[in-house]
Chain A
Amino acid sequence: MNRFLSVLSLLMFWGYPTHSQNYPKKVEDKLIGKVSYVIYSNPRKCTLTDTTAVLYLNPTHSLFVYAKGDDHRMVTCDKGEDVMLLEANGNMVLKNFASDTLKIRELVLTTVYRSYEALPKFNWTLGNKEKTIANYKVKNATTRFRGRSYEAWFSEEIPISDGPWKFNGLPGLILEVYDTDKDYFFTIKNIEIPANPFSEEVKFREDGQFLPIQKFLIADHIEYEKIKKESQAASNIEIEVKVPPRNPIELTEN
């Protein structure tokens, strides 16, 4: 077992803030649909690990909630064990199509960070391939976004220009999208339009530490530095904190 994982396993049980704030945007208002995806991701060059995610839709907003869970998951890979971080409220991406903005909130190691950016405009190139996913006829489209090339499969039968994570801008709901390196793979699991009644609270949580988007993209670096300093300050000895390989979904700023 690598030493950094031991450090991690100690650190991961540190609490993180659960501030109570006002949540001005309620996605459950006029909720028109709820779409579930399975995400296969490999954020640390360990192994593809699956998690579920939900896209909540209303006329002007969509909220994508992923990596939601009460406990972290251990993942076994070639280089040892890794931790799939799950957060009680889930990581969130809120797309506001009225103001063309996007908010993101993510647990990075021990801290919840959030950020804000203009709604990404994907430069999609429509392909001519067709297939069927979950009884929906889908067409392919390709794009490049922040260092990765993606292929998406969207259905014109569902005229919602949205998709998992930050993806949007196709003439139909994206049912499947993956990067060409196959490190990130989103596929449809369940479609409920209109959504069945449910009691859970669906809100974008404005808690956590705000970072500009440029720093948010490298928040794991910031977090490791912070852990290193805090660990050394606490133990007064030099502790080696080894940074595992990075393989984030966004490789570049642009």
Chain B
Amino acid sequence: MRFILLLLMAMNGLGSFAQSISGKVYDHDNQPLSSVIIKLYGVDNQLKEFTQTDIDGNFTAKSSPKDVHYLVLSKLGFDDFRIDFESLTAFTFSVQLSPTEKPVTYLEEVVVKAPERLYNSLDTLTYKADSLRNQNVTTVEDLISRIPGVSIDINTGRISYQNKPISTILIDGDNLTGNNYQIFSKNISEKIAQEVQLIDGFEENSFLKQFKRSDAIALNIKTNSEEKGIYSGSISAGGGYQDRYVGSGNLLFLSETSKNLLTSTTNNLGDFSFGQQFALEQTTVNDRHVKSLFYNVSRDFLSKINPVLSMNYNQNLSENEEFFVSDNLQFKSGKSEFLLNSFLYKDVLSQNKADFFLIKNGTEQTLFVNTKEEESTPSNWGLSLNHNFKLSDKFRLENQLLFNRKSFDEISLLNLNETVFENELGENDLFIKSDIFIKPSSKYLIYSYNSFKHSELTDVFTLAGESIFTPETVGEINFFEQEYFSKNTHFNNTSGVIQRKGSHDIFEFATQFDYHNTDNIANNTSRSDFKNKFYNFSIVGKWTKVVGTRIFEAGLKNTFLTGNNLQNKFVVLPNLRYKWKNIYTNFDAHLYRELVFVDNKYWINGSISTGFQSFINSSLPSSKQFFSTANVFKTSLNHSLKSGSVDLGIQFQASYTPLNFIPVFSAEDNFFVSGVLPFDADDYSVSTSFEISKYVSGLTQNFRIVPSHAYSKTIYASNEDVFRNESNVFSIRFETKTAYDGWFNFFTGFTFKNQVFSDSNIQMNEVTNSSNHFSSGFFNLNLIPITNKLKVQIQNNLYDFNTGGTYFYLGDIQATYKPEKFPLEIQFKLKNFTDERRFSLFSENASTISRNSTFVRPLSAVLSLKYVF
């Protein structure tokens, strides 16, 4: 290390009065050094300001010296130089930097390969359709299913990407099918697709992006229809046992100026052309006859001023007088956009909806009106009106009014008012929100919600004469009140939060007041007779202090309840976080004490729980070509003591998470491991779960991509549906619970080469009492490819066993045979028509268990051919 010379030249004797920090930087040859980055850090080690030297090596910082803890001078080719400010008495000085002795190539060359097969435009992932095709791909759905991370529910045809459902499928950016995209995906040939795009944050009306951030994901199928017209579609026909028949035809025609999709079907199987989701909801009647016609056209008219006029017209007709009509009229010119949208659905749900937008050239002026009428039965009607009015860049005003009448004997008025003033450019935020709920009826409800937020505080807190917060303190006051008032219940909740952030302190204080008054006696209108009444007052305070690289947190929560029951609880929450290099350690200790008075008796409950967490962030060597990595390793041990019970649990989680979903990482290094082992002594349940997945990018690998975040959450939530659709390499779940009754769950999933190999769901319920023992089971075997050409689906099978006998209920079975390289599909359906989809199999009468259901299961079988062109 060469010498470092630090020359301090006091420009005035009273450095504490200096208002700025300035200086000059030289190199080892006493030549002024330009482009040196000077970073000024506060006491909290946070970067407060940065500047750089000019061509003569001079620099000047704006920060007040008393707010600066140290400086770091950085220059390529030189060692970083740190100056601790506490030791300084002057704020104008000269610094000489010495050349680094690190190797000159210390910035290793990093090559990040640009994505090749697919490219990423932040919100949109684009796949070349050719890269998805193989000999088994016939329909658009087949093509989509090849995208890593996509799963398709075999029952409904609904498509999910990384656990999030796809909201719609667009055809060259136009929505022809609404939410019923199965019409398109299942019946249209894959040949039309040039690219498949996954659009995250999809918002159907592009102008709405200015108002809200959508979470929806949409698929866009890009075609080459602008060069020539494209036809595609499918026809299918078949018949079978018990005079069942099925026939359908679908035709898609895309040209330069219009897009047309015509779908028609007729059958007496109860299958809708909208996809099976509708059918599952509606097919509760035997021998349902369905005739539907669905027509959708989108047409663009081009003229010199370049307006776009598009219209969608959807109509579905059936014998049961169910239909829906949807109109969409859109007009765009250079500076304004207009959209009128109406939607009418009869019988099941009727609603009219109109949207009106007027936008003048981006954000300058915006008017957005949304009206909606709802009618669920002939006697019910409602109206909702939304206004979004954007006055300028700085302010936004929103109003919403909803009026609803549910039935004759109950009139409800729902009045939602939301007023938002936003000053997007300024530093001061004023936020007022007010919701009012009024429901005048025999059971009336008043609900109000008020929120106030103001984020500029100018006063300074002092403690013992010393200022706690610097003038840069950011303060925030939140006030929240909600009141729920009905005939039998009056609930009021008021809370406030004050938060102040100093340069090295954060102080938070919150109060909450609850008033709850409930009458359990029916028809008692006297509010004084409420039987449950209590007041709850809580205070929460938390103080966070940053000392060097350590963070201390201390908090106190106290809750006091009074009323019918008298309780006093307090919780102490000390928390210590420490960061060393890339390792964060976190220590939590929770002390919980509860004192409960009920009927002049009291119980004392207490618990102590401690936790330890460490987070390790590391990056793999660059040769692995990872964009970025973050590893999380977390352990926690919880121990709590209650009166008469013991809870003991241990949780273990290890995950390996690529931060960016940009597929440049290599397949060998991607995996996810998770395990959970909760143990609950109260009801003696054991749950063991373990998961391993492998991440892959591109399409050449075998396994799907699943975000690890979703998995880590769902494991702790013990959501039983988690693994069924999310199996990647192999997932298995086994749970037992023994108490008065028992149940047994078993889920398996196996995915191979991006196709579901087996996705089964087996559930058993077992009930035992003193004289009888019975159990029921359910399994759903979704898809079994017997060969590449033949796939079988079995669903809704119920198995019943009790001491009186064993019953087996057979659900629908569907088998498809699809020859390779030929767009013909042979489908066999065995359908089960019954009036009852839900079984109440057993009723208990004294010691006798009897079956109270007689099953009528008219089975029918249909063989059909489907040709996709």
Contact of A191 among B107, B121, B619 (CB under 8 A): B107
* Cα of A158 to Cα of B659 in the assembled complex, Å: 22
Specify the chain A residue showing the minimal Cβ separation from B46: A128
B739 at the interface (CB under 8 A from A): no
How far is the CB of B528 from the nearest CB of chain A, in Å?
53
A22 CB within 8 Å of chain B: no
Shortest beta-carbon distance from B218 to chain A in Å: 15
Size of B's binding interface in residues, CB under 8 A: 40
B32 to chain A, nearest CB (A): 11
| Chain A residues with CB under 8 A of B123 | 182
- Chain B residue with minimal CB distance to A100? B54
Cβ contact within 8 Å between A189 and B112 = yes
Flag if B119 contacts A50 (CB, 8 Å): yes
Q: Given A131-B660, A188-B112, A191-B110, list of 7 further CB < 8 A pairs?
A: A33-B107, A59-B35, A134-B112, A135-B108, A159-B75, A193-B76, A193-B105
Assess the A135–B110 pair: CB atoms within 8 A: yes
Contact between chains at B34 and A193 (CB < 8 Å): no
Does A249 sit at the interface, judged by CB under 8 A?
A: no
Query: Which residues of the partner chain A approach B76 to less than 8 Å between Cβ atoms?
Result: 32-33, 158-160, 193
A188–B587 CA distance with the chains assembled, in angstroms: 38
A102 to chain B, nearest CB (A): 15
B50, A98: Cβ atoms closer than 8 Å: no
Segment of B5-13, B377-385, B621-629 in the binding face: B621-629
Q: Which residues in A have their C-beta under 8 angstroms from that of B112?
A: 133-134, 187-190
| Complex: chain B residue closest to A251, CB-CB | B362
Verify if B104 is at the interface (C-beta below 8 Å from A).
yes
Residue in A50, A136, A157, A159 with the greatest tally of chain B CB atoms within 10 Å: A159
Q: Which residues of A (171-206) have their CB < 8 Å from a CB of B?
A: 171-172, 178, 182, 185, 187-194
Query: Which chain A residues border B846 with CB–CB below 8 Å?
Result: none
B554 CB-CB contact with A under 8 Å: no
- CB contacts (< 8 Å) of A33 on chain B: these are 76, 107
Most chain B CB inside 10 Å of its own CB: which residue of A160, A170, A171, A191: A171
Give the residues in chain B near A24, CB-CB below 8 Å.
Answer: none
User: B499: CB under 8 A from chain A?
Assistant: no
A28 at the interface (CB under 8 A from B): no
Are A190 and B111 in touch, CB under 8 angstroms? yes
User: What does the 1/0 interface line of A43-61 toward B look like (CB < 8 Å)?
Assistant: 0000010100000000110
Known contacts A182-B121, A185-B122, A190-B109; is-contact A60 B34 (Cβ 8 Å): yes
The yes or no answer to A132 lying at the interface (CB within 8 A) is: yes
Q: Nearest chain-B residue to A157 (Cβ)?
A: B107
20 A-B residue pairs with CB within 8 Å = A32-B77, A33-B76, A40-B119, A50-B119, A78-B173, A126-B47, A131-B659, A132-B627, A132-B659, A133-B627, A134-B110, A135-B622, A159-B74, A161-B35, A182-B123, A188-B110, A189-B112, A190-B112, A191-B110, A194-B105
Identify which of A134, A172, A185, A187 gathers the most chain B CB atoms within 10 Å of its CB. Answer: A134
What 5 pairs between A and B have smallest CB-CB spacing?
A159-B74, A132-B628, A171-B50, A48-B121, A193-B107
Chain B CB within 8 A of A97 CB: yes
Chain A: CB-nearest residue to B111: A190
CA distance A219 to B416 in the complex (A): 50
Q: In the bound complex, what is the Cα–Cα distance between A160 and B34 (angstroms)?
A: 11
Majority DSSP secondary structure for residues of B touching A: loop
A159 contacts B110, CB within 8 Å? no
Contacts A59-B35, A131-B659, A159-B75; is A191 near B173 (CB within 8 Å)? Answer: no
In angstroms, how far is the closest chain B Cβ from the Cβ of A141? 10
List B contacts of A78 (CB < 8 A).
172-173, 222, 226
Q: Is A65 an interface residue (CB 8 A)?
A: no
Do residues A171 and B110 form an inter-chain contact, with CB atoms below 8 A?
no
Give bound CA distance, A190 to B111, whole Å. 5
Q: Does A156 count as interface, using CB distance less than 8 angstroms?
A: yes
Complex: A194 Cα to B104 Cα, angstroms: 7
Chain B residues near A135 (CB-CB < 8 A): 108, 110, 619, 622
Residue of A80, A134, A160 near B226 (CB, 8 A) is A80
B786 close to A (CB within 8 Å): no
**B39 contacts which chain A residues (CB < 8 A)?**
156, 171
**Residues from chain A with Cβ under 8 Å of B660 in the complex:** 131
Partner of B121, one of A40, A126, A170: A40
Q: Is B686 an interface residue (CB 8 A)?
A: no
A-B contact count, CB below 8 Å? 100
B114 interface contact, C-beta 8 A: yes
Q: List residues of B (89-104) whose CB comes within 8 Å of A's CBs.
A: 104
Please report the C-alpha to C-alpha distance between residue A120 and residue B50 in the assembled complex, in whole angstroms.
17
Q: Assuming A32-B76, A134-B622, is B109 touching A171 (CB within 8 A)? A: no
Least CB distance, A232 to chain B, in whole angstroms = 18
Instruction: Assess whether A38 is interfacial by the CB under 8 Å rule.
Output: yes
**Given contact pairs A159-B75, A171-B74, A50 touches B37 in the complex (Cβ within 8 A):** no
A189 to B111, CA, bound (A): 6
Judged by a CB distance under 8 angstroms, whether B145 is at the interface is no
Does any Cβ of A come within 8 Å of B55's Cβ? yes
Instruction: List chain B residues, Cβ under 8 A from A40.
Output: 119, 121
Q: Which residues of B contact A159 (CB under 8 A)?
A: 36-37, 74-76, 80
Cβ contacts under 8 Å, B622 to chain A: 134-135
Complex contact A185–B35 (CB within 8 A): no
Q: Give A36 Cβ to nearest chain B Cβ, in Å.
A: 9
Cβ-based interface call for B139 (8 A)? no
Interface pair A131/B628, CB less than 8 Å apart: yes
Within the assembled complex, what's the spacing in Å between the Cα atoms of A38 and B107? 20
B114 touches A60 (CB 8 A): no
Q: Report if A189-B114 is in contact (Cβ < 8 Å); known contacts: A132-B659, A133-B627, A194-B104.
A: yes
Cβ of B388 under 8 Å from chain A:
no
| Cross-chain contact of A98 among B36, B37, B55, B122 (Cβ < 8 A) | B55
- Chain B residues whose C-beta falls within 8 Å of the C-beta of A80 in the assembled complex: 226
List residues of chain A with CB within 8 A of the CB of B168: none
Interface residues of A in 22-44 (CB under 8 A from B): 32-33, 38, 40
Q: A25 → chain B, closest Cβ, in Å?
A: 14
Tell me the residues in window 50-77 of chain B with beta carbons closer than 8 Å to chain A beta carbons. Answer: 50, 52, 55, 74-77
Q: Which residues of B contact A134 (CB under 8 A)?
A: 110, 112, 622, 627
A79–B302 alpha-carbon span in the complex (Å): 11
* Alpha-carbon gap, A48 to B50, bound state (A): 34
| Closest Cβ neighbor of B306 among chain A residues | A245
- CB closest chain-A residue, reference B621: A135
Are the CB atoms of A192 and B619 closer together than 8 Å? no
* Bound-complex Cα distance A60 to B32 (A): 13
Q: For B50, list chain A residues within 8 Å (CB).
A: 170-171
Given contacts A131-B628, A161-B35, A185-B121, whether A191 and B55 have CB atoms under 8 Å apart is no
A158 / chain B contacts, CB cutoff of 8 Å: 76, 107
What 0/1 pattern do residues 126 to 144 of A give for CB contact below 8 A with B? 1000011111100000000
The answer on a CB contact under 8 Å between A160 and B121 is no
Chain A residues 54-112 with CB under 8 Å of chain B are 59-60, 78-80, 97-99
Find the B residue at minimum CB distance from A79: B226
Beta-carbon nearest neighbor of B194 in chain A: A76
Q: In the complex where A131-B659, A133-B628, A171-B50 touch, is A97 in contact with B35 (Cβ < 8 A)? A: yes
CB distance from B527 to the nearest CB of A (A): 50
- Asked if B74 contacts A156 (CB within 8 A), the reply is yes
Q: Which residues of B contact A79 (CB under 8 A)?
A: 226
CB distance from B304 to the nearest CB of A (A): 9
Are A171's CB and B47's CB within 8 A?
yes
**Could you tell me if A192 and B122 are in contact, using CB atoms closer than 8 angstroms?**
no
The distance in angstroms between the C-alpha atoms of A201 and B111, with both chains bound, is: 23
Within 8 A of A (CB), among B622-679: 622, 627-630, 659-660
Which residues of A are found within 8 Å of B75, using beta-carbon distances?
159
Q: Mark A142-160, 1 if CB is under 8 A from B, else 0.
A: 0000000000000011111
> How far in angstroms is the closest Cβ of chain B from A189?
6
In the complex, the answer to whether A98 meets B121 with C-beta atoms within 8 Å is no
Please measure, in the bound complex, the distance between the C-alpha atom of A149 and the C-alpha atom of B55, giving whole angstroms: 30
CA distance A134 to B114 in the complex (A): 12
CB-CB under 8 A from A190, the residues of chain B are 109-112
| Assembled-state Cα–Cα distance A6/B515 (Å) | 74
> Which A residues touch B104, using CB under 8 A?
194
